[in-house]
Amino acid sequence: MQRQKRRIIVDIDNTLWDLSPVLWEHLKALNPKMPEPSEWNDWDFWENYVSIKDLYQVLEDIHMQQDQHLPYPESKHFLQDLKE
């Protein structure tokens, strides 16, 4: 009997790298009045600054290029632990 490989799914943004500054730069390009991430106290922080359509487009664009962002220093150890 062949043994099945185990698989783990990892949400990359905010797990392996910091999404907030990248998201802020993209949103700020759409609306320069976008507050900085340190001021994001609610999930709907974006509502007075960009449309939902724009938010989803920005998130999609970021996710399509997420492998280009530097990981947290601890990411390597985290992934090694998962593999073990």
Domain boundaries, the chain: 19-67
Dihedral over Cα of 20, 21, 22, 26: its sign = positive
pTM: 0.78
Tens-place pLDDT, residues 35-70? 999 999 999 999 999 999 999 999 999 999 988 888
Q: Report the percentage of the chain scoring pLDDT > 90.
A: 55
- Distances 34 to 10, 21, 29, 40, 57 between C-alpha atoms, Å: 29, 12, 9, 10, 16
